[in-house]
Amino acid sequence: MRFLILIAMVGSIGYGEDFTTYIGDANQYRVAAIIADAGGNSYVTGSRTIGPSPPVSTSDVFVTKLDPTGNIVFTSTFGGKGSDFGSAIALDAAGNIWVGGTTSSENFPLRDALQTTIGSGDTGFLVKLAPDGTVIYSSYFGGLAGSSGVYGLATDAAGDVFVTGGTDSSDFPANPALSAGTVTANQITPYYGAFITKLDPTGLHVIFSAVIAGNTVDCQGGSSCFLMQRDTYGAGVAVDPAGDVLVTGNTNTTDLPVTPGGTAGYGAFAVKINAAGNKLVYLTYLGPPAGIVSLGPSEVISAAAIATDAAGNAYLTGFTNDPAFPATKGAYQTMLNGLNDAQGSLPPDAFAVKLGPSGVLLWATYLGGPGTDVANSISVDSSGHVWLTGSNAAGFPGASQWTISLAGNFLTELSADGSALVYSEEFPQGAVGQGVSVDTMTVIHVAGETGLISTITSTQPAAARILGIVNAAAGQLSGRISQGEVISIFGLGLGTDTPVSAKPGSEGFFPNSLAGVQVLVNGAAIPLLYVSASQINAELPAPLTFSDAEVQVINGSAKLPNFRVSVDPSNFNLFLNPNGSIAAINQDGTVNSPTNPAKAGSIITIWGTGFGNADGSLDGAVATIPNNWCADCQVILNGDNAPVDYAGTAPGLIDGIMQINLTVPMQFALTEAFLQFSLRGSGFVWVSP
């Protein structure tokens, strides 16, 4: 059988002194948010795993600062013995860094705290760091009588900090004049509310605080609706130049206290409170008015983030599959682009909304292709253009000059009036989709979920660089590699415009140079399987004797910038088809598929890579003889053990590929079976009685 590696393309992006780098180390990092300062520095927060991964035992919060060239200035970490997650980040005028999130740690490290005791469940936290990354304030935040989480942060010119999130703690400190509805941690039917709080620069004094909650749920389940959790929370917060606070959030209730002129509805909502904290300027749902929703809870309008401009307008983003979402005439996309799936539901599109200072809808647009498209972050540049990033399926608007065959990420710039795309590109999954922040020089700072951080100057010509590395079988783009792993390197200007596949030489080794391209790991060339302008497939040697490494691509006379990676003992994945099923061959040599399942009692063959150095050195040679070195490996098929007949080298393929032969149990009657391999990796195969 000829071995095939899936090829994906990535669009050209603007580049000057731009960079892409990986911020992880021995621990895996998950990015939640990014913000840029006026000097072009990037600040990132999220969580990093502590202990073996997988499984993940606990996590700490991290804050990383990168300079304008992508060098890491510092990484600060903090947390207790539980799980701690950073969700939001903000900067004040003095360069201090505020971080918020959620913790389950009863021993979360506190310093000059406003709240010194954790609540009865997971609790929000606030941490303030000095410009050098030193913690100068740390506190629980959310009350004692229930659970809570901080999901959004912002600061004003005076250094005051604005916090939003969700809580069911009835003792949350709130001003009755601003609040609406009640919250309770009742275990049968908890009521959560969105909180909006302004603190002074020390974090010790509440200037004003509100909790907004609903009672009537968007539910068609009859009497069971009575027991349904009421869930209202703030997802993002921004402060306009006048000091007014703007919040977006989500709710499954339909009776939030909409102000005159606002829209009653369901799902996502927007709130504005004046700087003095004594007036609710507006509260409005983003969706259609109550009464015109036809499909009930299957329709979703969910907000993820909010931004503001110098005039006090609010910009919101998220996703929706509601055909009645109020896209405005003249907007870039006025109709939902999702196609019905087999169950009749509608995949969502991303959306962008602009509200005027009084909450009036100025424009709204869908943004998406035929599949699932979700926006996670929003930022507004000095010209009023709106930048969005998120995850998408193939065919995202404006990126038609490139071909992406797998779900990935998008970065899009909308014109100030929402009528046109100024810039739009697709990226491999994990590259950019988690956060976006535009600095004062209109450099775009973007973060991928797995720890990839990039800057993009969309007005400048593209230049070559690595955007990330992924196990060639499956997984998200990141900066993690494993000894002996076959990898795919994605980027710009990596090789020739015409793709070239390698063949082993007369002695059975794949070449270390192909079409004028080399890949160096800590200065040593590695075997290459495939080279194109946007992707290189290669095999890492084994053993690797270091924990961190530098990867560099040399394309002819051009030496691309080094790309920092972390080395894991193993990173095994099974090779998958584009639809997520496992690439498998039936015993008769035909491809396993829904229309060609494996018979019960027959043998299926699958492949994987990234198993580490379990079988000695690996150096890019074609495996010539079977070696059943993983005879104890196991396969679970729909919860039952499936006998493994062979697990080892794959004769005829490069030595970093592992072949697994397994027998389908005789009792199988299902046509779609979930398979999980003991090393790691899972997916579906098709079998028949």
pLDDT by residue (tens digit) across 83-108?
999 999 999 999 999 999 999 999 99
Of the candidates 310, 444, 427, 296, the residue with the CA atom closest to the CA atom of residue 377: 444
Characterize the bridge pairing of strands 640-642 and 635-637: antiparallel
pLDDT at 139: 98
Residues 6+ apart with CB under 8 A from 92: 98, 155, 159, 161, 201
Sign of CA dihedral 249, 384, 423, 444: negative
DSSP string computed for 232-284: EEEEEEEE-TTS-EEEEEEESBS---PPTT----SEEEEEEE-TTSS-EEEEE
- Cα 505 versus chain centre, distance: 41
Confidence of residue 3 (pLDDT cuts 50, 70, 90): very low
| Same-domain status, 577 and 681 | yes
Characterize the bridge pairing of strands 682-688 and 598-599: parallel
Q: Is the pLDDT of residue 342 over 50?
A: no
In-domain check, residue 617: yes
- Four-point Cα dihedral 500, 503, 505, 511, nearest 10: 50
Query: Residues 14, 459: contact at Cβ < 8 Å?
Result: yes
| Same-domain status, 550 and 483 | yes
| Same-domain status, 623 and 556 | no
Domain limit, last residue, from 568, 584, 609: 568
In-domain check, residue 654: yes
pLDDT at 38: 95
Query: Residues 513, 525: contact at Cβ < 8 Å?
Result: yes
| Same-domain status, 514 and 593 | no
| Same-domain status, 595 and 562 | no
In-domain check, residue 248: no
pLDDT at 177: 82
CATH of the domain at 645: 2.60.40
| Same-domain status, 597 and 558 | no
Number of other CB atoms surrounding residue 278 within 10 Å: 11
| Same-domain status, 560 and 641 | no
Characterize the bridge pairing of strands 563-568 and 480-482: parallel
Tokens 């580049």, located at residue: 15
Single-letter code of the amino acid located at 161: V
Query: What digits encode the pLDDT tens for the residues 405-452?
Result: 445 899 999 999 999 999 998 888 899 999 999 999 999 999 999 999
Domain limit, last residue, from 544, 568, 592: 568
Residues 6+ apart with CB under 8 A from 507: none
Query: Residues 538, 520: contact at Cβ < 8 Å?
Result: no
When comparing pLDDT for 613 and 610, which is higher? 610
pLDDT at 274: 95
Characterize the bridge pairing of strands 584-585 and 603-609: antiparallel
Sign of CA dihedral 416, 422, 428, 431: negative
| Same-domain status, 601 and 638 | yes
Query: Residues 510, 527: contact at Cβ < 8 Å?
Result: yes
Query: Residues 567, 482: contact at Cβ < 8 Å?
Result: yes
Q: Counting beta carbons within 10 angstroms of the beta carbon of residue 192, is it exposed (0 to 12), middle (13 to 18) or buried (19 or more)? A: buried
| Same-domain status, 553 and 617 | no
Number of other CB atoms surrounding residue 267 within 10 Å: 26
In-domain check, residue 560: yes
Q: What is the mean pLDDT of the chain?
A: 88
Q: CA dist 86 to 66, 148, 434, 446, 673, Å?
A: 17, 13, 13, 17, 37
Q: Is the pLDDT of residue 230 over 90?
A: no
Query: Residues 385, 419: contact at Cβ < 8 Å?
Result: no
Q: Token pair for residue 295?
A: 């499909």
pLDDT at 296: 45
When comparing pLDDT for 100 and 292, which is higher? 100
Tokens 């709240």, located at residue: 115
Runs of H (alpha helix) within 183-238: none
| Same-domain status, 579 and 680 | yes
Domain limit, last residue, from 524, 550, 568: 568
Characterize the bridge pairing of strands 548-555 and 563-568: antiparallel
| Same-domain status, 502 and 527 | yes
Domain total of the chain: 2
pLDDT at 57: 52
Which segment of 33-47, 441-455, 459-473, 524-538 scores lowest on mean pLDDT?
Answer: 459-473
In-domain check, residue 655: yes
Average pLDDT over residues 146-162: 97
CATH of the domain at 526: 2.60.40.10
Q: Residue 304 phi/psi, 5° resolution?
A: -120, -30
Which segment of 23-32, 396-405, 574-583, 670-679 scores lowest on mean pLDDT?
Answer: 396-405
Q: CA dist 90 to 63, 86, 100, 128, 160, Å?
A: 11, 12, 9, 10, 11
Number of other CB atoms surrounding residue 568 within 10 Å: 19
d(CA 1, CA 367): 42
pLDDT at 9: 23
In-domain check, residue 291: no
Range of the domain at 584: 573-688
d(CA 240, CA 234): 17
0.85 exceeded by pTM? yes
Q: Is the pLDDT of residue 454 over 90?
A: yes
Q: Residue 298 phi/psi, 5° resolution?
A: -70, -15
d(CA 347, CA 369): 10
Q: Residue 224 phi/psi, 5° resolution?
A: -65, -20
| Same-domain status, 603 and 548 | no
Collapsing DSSP states into helix, strand and coil, what is residue 106? coil
In-domain check, residue 425: no
pLDDT at 366: 96
In-domain check, residue 190: no
Confidence of residue 344 (pLDDT cuts 50, 70, 90): low
Looking at residue 288, the DSSP 8-state letter turns out to be P
Query: Residues 350, 375: contact at Cβ < 8 Å?
Result: yes
